Chains A and B, each alone.
Chain A
Amino acid sequence: MRSLIDLIVSSEPAVRDLSMESQVSALTLPELLNQAELLDVFRRDRENLYERVRALFFLYAIHRFHLPTLVPESKPGKISFEGHHHFLHRRFNEAIDVFLADQERSGPSWAVSSALASAYHRLAFQTLADQVRKSVKTVAGNRWMFRMGNPDELPLRLRDELLQRDANLGYPMLRERTSVRMDFSHSAWSDIFFLGMDFPQGARVINASINLAVQGRHQTPEPPLDCCLRVIDQPVLRLVSIDLNAVVEITHLSQVFDFAADYLGLLKAAVIASGLVPAGLEGHQADIASVLRPLVGPGLGLEIVSRVNDIPKGSRLAVSTNLLGGLIAMCMRATNQVSTLTGSLTEADRRIVAARAILGEWLGGSGGGWQDSGGVWPGIKLIEGCAAAAGDPEFGISQGRLLPQHQVFGPAEVDARTRQLLQDSLVLVHGGMAQNVGPILEMVTEKYLLRSGAEWEARQQAIEILAQIIRHLANGDIRAIGAATDRNFSGPLQAIIPWCTNAYTERLITRCRETYGSDFWGFWMLGGMAGGGMGFIFNPTRKVEARHWLWELMRDTKREMEHALPFAMDPVVYDFEINDQGTQAQLLPGGSYPPGYYPLLVPGWLRQDIQSLSLETRAELERVGQLCRSSDQDLATRLIARILPGKADATATRQSLSDLLEIHGFDPIAHQQLREDLLAGRLGLAQNLLPATTTIEDVGDDDVVDCRQSVPHRAIDLGRQAIANGEVAVVTLAAGVGSRWTQGAGVVKALHPFVRLAGRHRSFLDIHLAKTQQAGRLYGCRPLHVVTTGYLTEQPIRAAVERWKHQHQSAGVYVSAGKSVGLRLVPTIRDLRFAWEEMPQQVLDQQQQKVRQSLRAAMLNWAQATGEATDYVDNLPMQCLHPVGHWFEIPNLLRNGLLRDLLLEQPQLKYLLLHNVDTLGASVEPGLLGVHIQNGTCLSIEVITRRMEDRGGGLARVNGRTRLVEGLAMPNERDEFGLTYYNSMTTWIDIDQLLARFGLNRTELNHSERVVKAVRQFARRLPTYITLKDVKKRWGNGQEDVFPVCQFEKLWGDMTSLTDVTCQYLAVPTLRGQQLKDPAQLDGWLRDGSAAATERGCDFVA
């Protein structure tokens, strides 16, 4: 075995590219710990970025994947609060020191390894982010902007041409039109900055600049990104986004750096990155006039307008980076920073614009790849990483430079016929999904550094496919290009990141093959993942019909899957053409605005006293009047639509919301009481906490039954027998929508086909039903299976269950309808501040944290302006409602009569296995059931060893009594870190005992009034928690806003706080009890064997 440090420092590719896994798989625990210690020492004193980062990823992998296989899960270990505190405040090095000291003191354990893995992982990405930030700042041409500390020092002046005022038309206008980029291949995400900087020889992308037309909306393809700049006669910086309907007049310097205060963050980033307001001025307390005076002249200001021509978000065409590039190019032209005012840019100019666009991305808290500003360049080009040489700021730190080099293909490399053929073959679409590609990029970086065998092989294949595409372009063989992009997607891309595809995309591809056979030439993934912007290549003779057919297919498939997958909009099809000029600027007479400018600005002007308007604005109004009177009827119509808005939509929304509330059992009296309690301070996040005098201690060995290694044979036999007798049913909790899973997108998490198992994409529900199938096969009687639902999930889950039953020709699966719903409220300022200032949370990277603070300030304003604790109604009706907590899902079984019906159908039924939909390891395990039966408690709750990511309460002795305590109720953050076990929520329930606690029995389930009364009385014994949830509001072309809203919940775990409910706690393996809450967990879940274990526990029907 080689030392892991050899893998890092070796200059021999054969050693350097060895997978870490191959080197550590045979190590003993002491050997592995020794390697970890050496790596930790090594990474601390290395200057080289790559060496430090690769060592950090090795350390992460050791603690995440390898060490846990050598340490028994039952070995005690606790995560130190001090370490966690450092972690949350991004002091990752300090956190690691504390965790290592814990490990030294108590020996290795799952808990401490999980903490170390998280800290090494974050530190690795922090190191990368710091290096990119440093490199961006040190690119020649960018540095001066960080040195400017005073408006008096501002060196830029607007070009004279832009200050030549025309008596009738005002100041001239500089207009920049930019295309977007479409990548043929990115060689398996090799455009991630770190890959480009560490592996320049493998960082290769081919992309084309393209003009677009959305079918049905535009006639011919045009550069879709349009920006204008002109001088105005007011000392303000006016930023306008026509497509986002947003205007702001900036009067103070601080507003420029307030990125999330409005929708104009990207324009602000462009203003800063272009040097109009240099980054060094951040924090300076000055009026914007003091910056504008030297730049434009006294009493004058600037107006910058942007317009994205109807391209929806998630297009995977790098719209925002190219818009940023276009804006920056325009501002740099206007201030003489590039060589030309109009026309094309030179190569040197494009490079500095690209560097500034990267800076702008970083300022705005987003991040694109280094190829993303490809739309600034013309035509089709090869973009490659290049080795850092002496004199480069990266030299000695990374192998490659931050910025790549571009080779634009001329007619010799790609002739006109090939370009035309490409346009005639490729159907470019937006499938409607808008997903966050961030987690995928992190996974790619991690896998690259670990060099896992299959994935490293796949990277080589992707590099080879790119070379093939270049050859096919030279040969004009579009069919071969289609085959290559298809092979790229189904082969290396999915081998590295299985999550880059999804059930929707796979369905589309399958249907294309079925319908078009050999005339379907291949699928083409754009950007980071499929589902949004995508390409389908057809034989040119069939492209026109295929285009329409594909649109219909996407529309219908989206309708079928929209409850299961996060669609942001209806699919669209584009026409496109290759842009052979790159970004272009023109100097136009004043008033030559893009469509949509006047309808956006004029209503605001009309609302003001005419005397308060500047002379230019008054003249502008006269021009608009003249246009409306003479020729432009469209403008007149749009202006009237703006000035006299309709109200029909709002009324319809309210009507439909009130209907829904009535249908789903909304209690308006309780809701009003909740509002009053919130406003009076009787309820709130601070009131969720247990009294500060509560003592919370860890449980002892006697408080849990340790089932992690084994359970007695007798218990297994007992459990087997009970299953075979039909004494157990499964209850899958699926009333919630899984806000974290899709960041509040409102899709049904249970139905999300998130993973490919046994050859097909499977949803959470598919997996749970397949496990029940297997239990039936193994034990001779398939348990009944109930899926609980809520207002949002009932219909889609009912439909899915019906499909499942039809497919399996089987009954025994039931849907439990929700019986209660809440109406979300605008949060109180007090709760928002408590959540953001008092509760522990992860501090973000420097710039992202600034953006977060800015957003939070905007949200506080929103809550204040809308009204604290008022009903949240400004969204789709379904997004205004909320489920009221999973405690209600068992009482719902009583109230809706389903438990009664099950007991009638199967009177021998005695036990329920209750579990969350995202607890994929939960199954009808005879041993655990046997332990439950043996001990005869009302509830047996499964707990797992706490790991770093398991936040939110756990098993504790609360004032001396063993019970579960919710994270929401923890009076002291520190207490949670003293707990060994985390609540998996999986509960074995003795039906008769539970009914007895409700004051009911099997017979009384027939008396609905008695049941309702019993549930109501029982509910009063449990605390009500106030929570804040993120909810998405969608608008425009796939745009999304996320609002924090207030809702209430009662939680199942609090059943254990009741003294008359007997409970026992079963410590189970983590594989069984872990929950999938966030898509970012998926890769680890796949690699640590959890996915394979889940698959083994399922009987899927093909």
Chain B
Amino acid sequence: MTISKAVITAAGKDQAHLPLQTVVDQSGRARSALELILAEVVSAGIKEIAIVVAPGEQDRYHAAAGNFASRLTFFPQPEPRGYGDAILRARSFVGGEKFLHLVGDHLYVSDHSQWSCAAQLVAVAEREDCSVSAIQPTHESKLRFFGTIGGSPVAHAEKLFEVTAILEKPTPTQAEQALIVAGQRSGYYLCFFGMHVLTPTVMDLLVEAKAALPANATDKPSNINLSDSLRKLIQREKYLAFQIQGQRFNIGETYGLLIAQMALALSGPDRDRILVELIELLARPK
């Protein structure tokens, strides 16, 4: 089944401004980060895109979307109730279809000669006809930033894994006990890439999670976590993870935008120029 819808979450606390920042893309053109994300989505054949934003952010996002603005539908998240709740806001938008989901604070650079990261993922999800999370081997010192999966390689399918466990931001102690995947380098784990194709079952699980929240939690509302629902998804239906040929850059981290910008620049035609500039910077006395 063809995947034609995508949901981008960008409503997180301290996150709203991130997609609105300006970066220079591989071709040397200044664009907003949001525009790059949308380009990534569209490259995968997506037609309609929902963006979950904090209340009042819609206009700024619309303005920053460039040529993609016409494809967007906005869903405000009235209060920060977690990642899962943000996705759930777009339930009506996705209807009963599978959808591509990306986080709004990541930029992606594909290592594949032809396909973007999102396109790689969507192709696998369409072929396998199930939920697929994009993953990337990540050093254990970075585990605190990512959801991490445990699983086993799928026979005769390169870089594809059957997911058996998920821990959100584990310590290496937990990861070693529950998330070792055969064939990975020692000290590396398969962490989420910030990009998933999800089936409608995930929306159902998020609804169940919301229903299970304590009714009187008024002082400090409980959050709905996507990882918890994905963990339940393992029990419900086929759920795979695919190791993308590419890199993700969290622009919310310290120096995250800078590093993402460098990666973009170094993957384009201005690579040599950037390298010369860097060497000159390095050669200067501290």
Contacts and interface: CB of A to CB of B under 8 A. Distances in A.
- Do A and B interact with each other, yes or no? yes
Interface of A: 140-145, 147-148, 152-157, 275, 332, 335-338, 348, 352
Nearest to B145: A155
Nearest to A156: B171
Contact of B177 (A153, A156, A348): A348
Interface stretch (B94-102, B116-124, B135-143): B135-143
Nearest to B178: A140
B144 A157 contact: yes
Contacts of B142: 155
Interface string B6-19: 00000000000000
Contacts of A155: 140-144, 171-172
A144 B177 contact: no
Interface string B177-188: 100100000110
Contacts of A147: 140, 186-187
Question: How many B residues are at the interface, by size bracket?
Answer: 10 to 19
Contacts of B175: 144
Top 7 A-B residue pairs of the complex, sorted by shortest distance between their CB atoms: A144-B172, A153-B141, A337-B173, A141-B173, A140-B176, A337-B171, A155-B141
Given A140-B180, A147-B187, A352 B173 contact: yes
Given A143-B186, A152-B141, A155-B142, 12 more contacts: A141-B174, A141-B176, A144-B175, A144-B187, A147-B140, A153-B139, A153-B141, A155-B140, A155-B144, A155-B171, A155-B172, A157-B144
A335 B144 CA distance: 11
A335 B180 CA distance: 21
A155 B146 CA distance: 12
Nearest to A275: B173
Contacts of A140: 176-177, 180
A872 B209 CA distance: 73
B231 to A, nearest CB: 15
A352 to B, nearest CB: 6
Contacts of B143: 155
Contacts of A332: 173
A337 B174 CA distance: 6
A289 B201 CA distance: 48
Contact of A335 (B139, B171, B176): B171
Contacts of B187: 144, 147
A145 B139 CA distance: 13
A1067 B173 CA distance: 63
Contacts of B177: 140-141, 348, 352
12 contacts: A140-B176, A143-B186, A144-B173, A144-B176, A152-B141, A154-B141, A156-B171, A157-B144, A275-B172, A337-B174, A338-B173, A348-B177
Nearest to A335: B171
A557 B234 CA distance: 68
B20 to A, nearest CB: 28
A147 B141 CA distance: 10
Contacts of A141: 173-174, 176-177
Contacts of B144: 155, 157
A348 B172 CA distance: 15
Contacts of B139: 153
B144 to A, nearest CB: 6
Q: Is the interface of B mostly helix, strand, loop or mixed?
A: helix
B199 to A, nearest CB: 29
Interface string B196-218: 00000000000000000000000
A518 B172 CA distance: 57
B147 to A, nearest CB: 15
A348 B174 CA distance: 10
A885 to B, nearest CB: 57
Nearest to A337: B173
B191 to A, nearest CB: 12
Contacts of A157: 144
Contacts of A144: 140, 172-173, 175-176, 187
Interface string B134-172: 000001111110000000000000000000000000011
B141 A143 contact: no
Nearest to B172: A144
Contact of B171 (A142, A153, A336): A336
Contacts of A143: 176, 186
A889 to B, nearest CB: 61
Contacts of B176: 140-144
Nearest to B170: A336
Nearest to A143: B176
A155 B148 CA distance: 14
Contact of A148 (B141, B173, B174, B180): B141
A193 to B, nearest CB: 21
Q: Which of B140, B143, B172, B174 gathers the greatest number of chain A CB atoms within 10 Å?
A: B172
Interface in B57-111: none
Contacts of B186: 143, 147
Nearest to B143: A155
Contacts of A148: 141
A331 to B, nearest CB: 11
Nearest to A351: B177
B207 to A, nearest CB: 27
Nearest to B171: A337
B124 to A, nearest CB: 28
Nearest to A150: B141
A53 to B, nearest CB: 28
A393 B255 CA distance: 40
B228 to A, nearest CB: 14
Nearest to B141: A153
Contacts of A335: 171
A145 B186 CA distance: 12
A170 B10 CA distance: 36
Q: Which of B141, B143, B175, B180 gathers the greatest number of chain A CB atoms within 10 Å?
A: B141
Nearest to A142: B176
Contacts of B172: 144-145, 155, 275
A156 B173 CA distance: 10
A155 B186 CA distance: 15
Q: Which of A143, A144, A154, A156 gathers the greatest number of chain B CB atoms within 10 Å?
A: A144
Contacts of A156: 171
A334 to B, nearest CB: 11
Nearest to B173: A337
Contacts of B171: 155-156, 275, 335-337
Nearest to A148: B141
A566 B141 CA distance: 50
Contacts of A152: 141
Q: Which of A140, A145, A155 gathers the greatest number of chain B CB atoms within 10 Å?
A: A155
A157 B145 CA distance: 11
A155 B139 CA distance: 10
B189 to A, nearest CB: 10
A153 B143 CA distance: 11
A332 B173 CA distance: 9
Contacts of B180: 140
B182 to A, nearest CB: 10
Nearest to A155: B141
Contacts of A153: 139, 141
A275 B172 CA distance: 10
A336 B143 CA distance: 12
A584 B143 CA distance: 28
B110 to A, nearest CB: 27
Nearest to A348: B177
A152 B140 CA distance: 12
Q: Which of A140, A154, A335 gathers the greatest number of chain B CB atoms within 10 Å?
A: A140
B225 to A, nearest CB: 15
A1024 B88 CA distance: 90
Contacts of A338: 173
B181 to A, nearest CB: 13
A73 B180 CA distance: 59
A592 to B, nearest CB: 25
Contacts of A145: 172
A338 B173 CA distance: 8
A141 B172 CA distance: 7
Nearest to B186: A147
